[in-house]
Amino acid sequence: MKTLFSLLLLFFPSGEALTDVPFGFHPAPWISPDLHDPAYLLARDFVSQLTLTEKVNLTTGTGWEADRCIGATGSVPRLNFTGLCLMDGPLGVRYTDLNSAFPAGINAAATFSRGLMRKRGEALGEEFNGKGIDVMLGPASGPLGRSPKGGRNWEGFGSDPYLAGVGMAETIKGVQDRGVVACAKHFILNEQEHYRGSMDVRIDDRTIHEVYLWPFADAVRAGVGSVMCSYNKVNGTYACENEWIQNYLLKGELGFKGFVMSDWGAQHTTLGSALSGLDMAMPGDGGPPPYRAWWGGALTEAVLRGDVPQWRLDDMAMRIMVTYFRIVSNSTSSRPSGGPNFSAWTNQTFGPLYSASNTSWVEVNKHVNVQADHAEIIREIAAKSTVLLKNSRSVLPLSSNVSSIAVIGNDAQSWNPNSCSERACIPRPGTIAMGYGSGTADFPYLVSPASAISARCSSLSIPFYNTTPNWDLPTAIARASKASVAIVFVAATAGENFVSIDGNVGDRNNLTLWDNGDALIRAVASVNPNTIVVLHTPGPVLLEYAATHPNVSAILWAGFPGQESGNGIADVLFGDVEPQGRSPFTWAAKEEDYGPVDIVYKAEDPKNPSQTFPEGTLIDYRWFAQHNLTPVWEFGFGLSYTRFSYSNLQVTKMLIPEPLELKKETGPAPTFGTVSKNLSAHAVPEGFQRITPYVYPWLNSTTGFITSNASISDFPASARNGSSQQILPAGGGEGGNPELYEVLYVVTVEIENVGKRKGVEIVQLYIQHSQTSPVVVLRGFDEVPLNPGEKKLVALPLTRRDLSNWNTDSQNWEITSDAKTVFVGASSRDIRLNASLPL
Ligand SMILES: *[C@@H]1O[C@H](CO)[C@@H](O)[C@H](O)[C@H]1NC(C)=O
Ligand SMILES: *[C@@H]1O[C@H](CO)[C@@H](O)[C@H](O)[C@H]1NC(C)=O
Ligand SMILES: *[C@@H]1O[C@H](CO)[C@@H](O)[C@H](O)[C@H]1NC(C)=O
Ligand SMILES: *[C@@H]1O[C@H](CO)[C@@H](O)[C@H](O)[C@H]1NC(C)=O
Ligand SMILES: *[C@@H]1O[C@H](CO)[C@@H](O)[C@H](O)[C@H]1NC(C)=O
Ligand SMILES: *[C@@H]1O[C@H](CO)[C@@H](O)[C@H](O)[C@H]1NC(C)=O
Ligand SMILES: *[C@@H]1O[C@H](CO)[C@@H](O)[C@H](O)[C@H]1NC(C)=O
Ligand SMILES: *[C@@H]1O[C@H](CO)[C@@H](O)[C@H](O)[C@H]1NC(C)=O
Ligand SMILES: *[C@@H]1O[C@H](CO)[C@@H](O)[C@H](O)[C@H]1NC(C)=O
Ligand SMILES: *[C@@H]1O[C@H](CO)[C@@H](O)[C@H](O)[C@H]1NC(C)=O
Ligand SMILES: CC(=O)N[C@H]1CO[C@H](CO)[C@@H](O)[C@@H]1O
Ligand SMILES: CC(=O)N[C@H]1CO[C@H](CO)[C@@H](O)[C@@H]1O
């Protein structure tokens, strides 16, 4: 442990060292040979034929805007391998046309429907595949949503790790089933946009395991092909250079077999990134001269110098190619050959193949329509993700007996939603259906609430009025007082820090509505007793006044529903779709109630911003439970148009299978082919025409090395050690030790629809790990459609992992001896039944 301790001191100089780590954080784990896996065999045959520079080409992007995609790797022309095309983002293909704009991840989460999450993933995969894209840069569970104001929370699946893990796994399976590699991002702790490029997040071992790493474990278990390391630092070291999170946690403990790519520009060194487990540098350029890249030619030099062992480079290449052969080239979806059939960098039909060099003008945009029938699933998710937060006097669903309807607010209106780049519009004359930044896509169209509701009204012969004055309250009041029902549409937005709206640099500056929204609600409610509020927001806003206002009869959160926004909300308002959305985050009465999780807007030391997470595992509803705080609406909350009763909770202990015989050691690191020591063999071939400013893998000089190897002394010898390594106790399979996923108990409960309408109940299962804490955590859910009077038995499995806590000493999951209770109910606070677990 002595060498380990000094290693820790070296890399975590001001952090607390772990004790008894059985396996250091070096070397970077390699994928073990799997001779039963056809993808492994194909990759082995392919990589074995590659020269050093060809291998390096696979690991390094060709540079920002060099090719047609957001990211593109080098190619291997000798073997007809065209390289990989990587594109944003998590809700649709960004920077192209004739694509769909799907509901955001936060809406997929709010459906609490594994089936809809999967279908959304499949449809996304079909669109990326149809454009000739190899890697979709999503889904995201980082940020997880520690702070409700986090700019990119809406791209992911809400602030509960269990729900986020399900969202990740279902999306990944859907996308990859359609022949596109998914990318789980951003790994890890990129919880805020302010200072994201330098923020040092200092996090304890238990919190990272039980909260932030959890959804990534589900992603790895689902077979995700790639992971994107994030911009921030973790315990003093940049994420993409961090041997603890990449070598130890991701590749060691979680057994990740795909490749790790850097976020765009998140790589900072040649050796640090290579030896800590990075496999692909994106976008490839941005490093120092002469190569203008941290990898490319600089990595070729590092391998020739021996600073990066051949096995490490070979493992990078294998991880990329196994993934490619497993997911892309084996796809049953027809994939046009020859790379993408669009360019991210121009909307014109003719344009440069090589955008940064403005050369090779061809028909670069084929304008392939990939939308198919995806509008249907988009509309279904838009409706089923709508969370009915309040419905007093049963004002909803609306029916033909309503004598008139007024729609009020900018946020209901039709407009050109693509009129501002990155969806960062101020002022915004129309409805909002996604956030801003790189997690966006261009809308093919956007159905506004006003147009959809107006169409409904005309078919039901209900007089319809529409007004837009967010700032002109007298007009809003005049209109609202004349209608029998007034529907107010209000919004807030959030996004990524490279664009700023109204001073919101990605993260929201406050938790109130934008554009005078609160005043508009109050004005309308002051005169109309059937005021319905619809919210398009990236997360919670402070709405206690509306929740308790007698004239605000209904409140619905519609999130960021995508292109079918208006149809989706109309389906719920008029009762064509039963509301089944449940809030994937907690709505506090006041901001302080969330705990010490505020965004660091102004760092004490702006050059070295750092952040601890003092709340530990207690984010969102867990914090409220621990501190006995009452939220306005809790995590998991959502009303229905009918009512459900819960009965007959039973816990069945399953047979505990024998522990699996795990391999205790890996084999030694394999190498594929040989690397010539002859420097001339790695020079640019004679007569090769460079495309400026492409990043290439070739040596700049054949007489000696140009880059410095000075920093190799920063690394312990273990960083280059390719001999057999111990397998971590919590490891041994994709997603960790396979035993963690064994079902130990099955919880059954009967649900009955005791109302007069059909409806969908979202049954939720929470676990209390220890009686000394009031905190319960989500560990299961199911979507249960029921007709009036119908009753169903629902079975919810509980795995070893679900019942475990992370033990920092043993570095393993452990079911503590504390008594544990199972709670089943309709939200994190609306618990209907409980039972103790027979341990
Ligand atoms: C391709 O997919 C088929 C069907 O799922 C599977 O049997 C086969 O092993 C896969 N091949 C590769 C190279 O992954
Ligand atoms: C590396 O990729 C670039 C860009 O695709 C290509 O021009 C070059 O020939 C490749 N180099 C090797 C060694 O294959
Ligand atoms: C590459 O493609 C060309 C043209 O289709 C073909 O003639 C050649 O055999 C291919 N080479 C390899 C190594 O597959
Ligand atoms: C990271 O820092 C935290 C807080 O200082 C500490 O508790 C934890 O042990 C550190 N992790 C590692 C791997 O050093
Ligand atoms: C392409 O068109 C979209 C939608 O109108 C627009 O948002 C985007 O800025 C355009 N991109 C370029 C490169 O002109
Ligand atoms: C790019 O090339 C085209 C065609 O050669 C030319 O018309 C255009 O001006 C160039 N654009 C820039 C920015 O150099
Ligand atoms: C309309 O009818 C429904 C039942 O169909 C009833 O619940 C609701 O209160 C009525 N609304 C109005 C405004 O009369
Ligand atoms: C909150 O931020 C939004 C957007 O910048 C702004 O419109 C609103 O006025 C702010 N709210 C308050 C109370 O300052
Ligand atoms: C509710 O609306 C009625 C008009 O129908 C109005 O008289 C009353 O003041 C409103 N209540 C509140 C609390 O604003
Ligand atoms: C080194 O490689 C170059 C180019 O491939 C070749 O011409 C030369 O003969 C090689 N030198 C030795 C010593 O093998
Ligand atoms: C590489 C690729 O995706 N090519 C397709 C682009 O779109 C045309 C249709 O216009 C297809 O024929 C290509 O196969
Ligand atoms: C140090 C060195 O040799 N740099 C060369 C690298 O290649 C570029 C372009 O080919 C030359 O301009 C540099 O002199």
- The dihedrals phi and psi of 635, each to the nearest 5 degrees, come to -55, 135
pLDDT of residue 334: 65
User: Is residue 527 in contact with ligand 9, taking CB distance under 6 Å?
Assistant: yes
The first and second tokens of residue 632, run together, are 């306005």
Mean per-residue pLDDT, 770-775 = 92
34 touches ligand 1 (CB under 6 Å): no
Report CA(393)–ligand 7 centroid distance (Å).
9
Expressed in angstroms and rounded, the spacing between residue 80 Cα and the centre of ligand 6 is 30
pLDDT of residue 24: 67
Domain presence at residue 152:
no
Q: Which ligand is nearest to the CA of 338?
A: 11
- % of residues, the chain, pLDDT over 90: 92
Query: Same domain, yes or no, for 701 and 625?
Result: no
Say if residue 109's pLDDT is above 60. yes
**Number of C-beta neighbours around residue 810 at 10 A:** 12
Reply yes or no: is the peptide bond before residue 290 cis, omega within 30 of 0. yes
**pLDDT for 178-217, tens place per residue?**
999 999 999 999 999 999 999 999 999 999 999 999 999 9
Is 295 within 8 Å of 281 (Cβ atoms)? yes
For ligand 4, the distance from its centroid to the CA atom of residue 246, given in whole angstroms, is 15
Give Cα 482 distance to the centre of its chain.
Answer: 44
Distance from the alpha carbon of residue 253 to the mean position of ligand 1, in angstroms: 26
- Pick the ligand that lies closest to the CA of residue 337: 11
Measured from the Cα of 346, ligand 5's closest atom is 13
- Indicate the Cα dihedral angle 478, 481, 485, 486, nearest 10°: 40
Check: CB of residue 626 under 8 Å from CB of residue 774: yes
Residues near 373 by Cβ (< 8 Å), separated by ≥ 6? Answer: none
**How far does the centroid of ligand 12 lie from the alpha carbon of residue 21, in Å?**
45
- pLDDT tens per residue, range 400-441: 889 999 999 999 999 999 999 999 988 889 999 999 999 999
How many angstroms does the Cα of residue 510 sit away from the middle of ligand 8? 6
pLDDT in tens, 224-268: 999 999 999 999 999 999 999 999 999 999 999 999 999 999 999
Q: What is the best residue among 428, 490, 502, 521 to mutate for testing ligand 8's pocket, by most ligand atoms within 8 Å of CB?
A: 502
Residue 9 predicted with pLDDT over 70:
no
pLDDT of 583 above 90: yes
**What ligand is nearest to the CA atom of residue 132?**
11
- Provide the domain count of the chain: 3
- Assess whether 207 and 61 both reside in one domain: yes
Looking up residue 764, the CATH number of its domain turns out to be: 2.60.40.10
Task: Please report the atom of ligand 4 found closest to the CA of residue 244.
Answer: 13
Active site positions, annotated: 263
Task: Name the closest ligand to CA 12.
Answer: 4
Mean pLDDT of 103-116: 99
Query: Does residue 442's CB lie within 6 angstroms of at least one atom of ligand 5?
Result: yes
For residues 430 and 569, state if they share a domain.
yes
Question: Chain-wide mean pLDDT for the chain?
Answer: 95
Whether residue 614 lies inside any domain: the answer is yes
Say which CATH number the domain at 294 has.
3.20.20.300
CA distance linking residue 95 with residue 681, whole number of Å: 39
Residue 519 maps to which CATH number? 3.40.50.1700
pLDDT exceeds 90 at position 660: no
CA angle 503/506/511 to nearest 5° reads 75
Distance in angstroms (rounded) separating the CA atoms of residues 208 and 212: 5
Average pLDDT in the 605-629 region? 98
Q: Are 169 and 114 in contact (CB under 8 A)?
A: no
With a 6 Å cutoff on the Cβ, whether 96 touches ligand 11 is: no
Q: Which numbered atom of ligand 7 lies nearest the CA of 485?
A: 13
The beta-strand segments (E) located in 393-470 are 405-408, 464-467
564 lies in a domain? yes
Q: Is 460 in the pocket of ligand 7 (CB under 6 A)?
A: no
**Residue 79 Cα: closest atom of ligand 3:** 13
Mutate to test the pocket of ligand 8, among 410, 428, 512, 536 (most ligand atoms within 8 A of CB): 512
> Is there a single domain that holds both residue 322 and residue 224?
yes
Expressed in angstroms and rounded, the spacing between residue 369 Cα and the centre of ligand 11 is: 10
pLDDT per residue as tens digits for the range 528-545: 999 999 999 999 999 999
C-alpha distances in angstroms, 679 versus 302, 492, 687, 718?
12, 58, 18, 27
Per-residue pLDDT band at 331 (split at 50, 70, 90) = confident
Looking at the structure, do residues 566 and 682 belong to the same domain, yes or no?
no
Q: What is the pLDDT of residue 657?
A: 60
Mutate to test the pocket of ligand 12, among 694, 700, 703, 705 (most ligand atoms within 8 A of CB): 700
Q: Domain check: are 557 and 629 in the same one?
A: yes
Residue 664: other Cβ atoms inside 10 A: 10
Nearest CA to ligand 4 atom 5: 15
Distance from residue 16's CA to the centre of ligand 4 (Å): 5
**Average pLDDT score over residue span 458-481:** 96
Do 501 and 621 belong together in one domain? yes
Q: 610-629 burial string, b = 16+ CB within 10 Å, else e?
A: bbebebbbbbbbbbbbbeeb
Prior bond to 288 cis, omega within 30?
no
- Ligand 1 pocket, residue 600 CB under 6 Å: no
- pLDDT, residue 725, reads 93
First CA to last CA distance, the chain: 35
Report whether pLDDT(309) > 60.
yes
Q: What is the pLDDT of residue 2?
A: 29
Mean pLDDT of 610-628: 98
Model confidence at 17, pLDDT cuts 50, 70, 90, reads: very low
Q: Is the CB of 65 under 6 A from ligand 5?
A: no
Atom 6 in ligand 8: residue holding the nearest Cα = 514
Residues 134, 84: contact at Cβ < 8 Å?
Answer: yes
Residue bearing the CA closest to ligand 2, atom 2: 74
Q: What is the mean pLDDT of residues 38-53?
A: 98
Residue of minimum CA distance from atom 10 in ligand 9: 526
- Would you state the pLDDT for residue 13? 31
How much is the pLDDT for 14?
32
- Considering the domain boundaries, does residue 109 fall inside one? no
- What is the percent of the chain where pLDDT is above 70? 95
Q: Which residue puts its alpha carbon closest to atom 13 of ligand 8?
A: 512
Phi, psi of 799, rounded to the nearest 5 degrees: -95, 170
* pLDDT average, residue stretch 269-289: 97
CB 229 within 8 A of CB 216: no
Q: Is the pLDDT of residue 766 over 60?
A: yes
β-sheet bridge partners, residue 653 = 745
Q: Is the pLDDT of residue 470 over 80?
A: yes
DSSP per-residue codes, 459-507: HHT--EEEE--SS-HHHHHHHHHHSSEEEEEEE---B-TTS-BTTB-SS
CA of 341 relative to ligand 11 center, distance in Å: 5
Ligand 7 centre and the CA of 402: distance in Å?
A: 7
Q: Is residue 95 part of a domain?
A: no
Q: Looking at the CA of residue 551, tell me the nearest atom of ligand 9.
A: 1
**Are 282 and 416 found together in one domain?**
no
Ligand 11 pocket member 338 (CB < 6 A): yes
Sign of CA dihedral 624, 629, 631, 634: positive
Residue 53 lies in a domain: yes
Same domain, residue pair 197 and 230: yes
Ligand 5 atom closest to the CA of 420, numbered from 1: 7
Q: Which is nearest to 239 in space by CA: 203, 313, 189?
A: 189
- Answer yes or no: is 151 within a domain: no
Q: Which atom of ligand 11 is nearest to the CA of 367?
A: 10
Indicate whether residue 684 lines ligand 10 (CB < 6 A).
Answer: no
| Residue 799 belongs to domain spanning | 645-660+736-836
Q: Look at ligand 3, atom 4, and give the residue with the nearest C-alpha.
A: 80
Q: How confident is the model at residue 492 (pLDDT cuts 50, 70, 90)?
A: very high
**Position 21 pLDDT exceeds 60:** no
Assess whether 515 and 471 both reside in one domain.
yes
Whether 197 and 76 map to the same domain: the answer is yes
Cβ of 53 closer than 6 Å to ligand 2, yes or no, is yes
Spatial separation of the C-alpha atoms in residues 101 and 317, rounded to whole Å = 33
497-535 pLDDT tens trace: 999 999 999 999 999 999 999 999 999 999 999 999 999
| Nearest ligand to residue 591 Cα | 8
- Reply yes or no on whether the pLDDT at 19 is more than 60: no
Q: What share of the chain is helix, strand, coil (3-state, %, to 5)?
A: 30, 20, 55
pTM of the model: 0.96
Residue with the nearest Cα to atom 13 of ligand 1?
39
Nearest ligand 5 atom, CA 347 = 1
Q: What is the pLDDT of residue 16?
A: 35
pLDDT-based confidence at residue 709 (cuts at 50, 70, 90): confident
- The CA 336 to ligand 11 mean position distance, Å, reads 6
- Tell me: do 441 and 523 sit in the same domain: yes
Answer yes or no: is the C-beta of 666 below 6 A from any ligand 9 atom. no
Domain annotation covers residue 799: yes
- Which is the closest atom of ligand 1 to the Cα of 332? 2
Cα(59) to centroid(ligand 11), Å? 26
Q: Give residue 1's pLDDT band: very low, low, confident or very high (50, 70, 90).
A: very low
Two structure tokens written together for 430? 């129309």
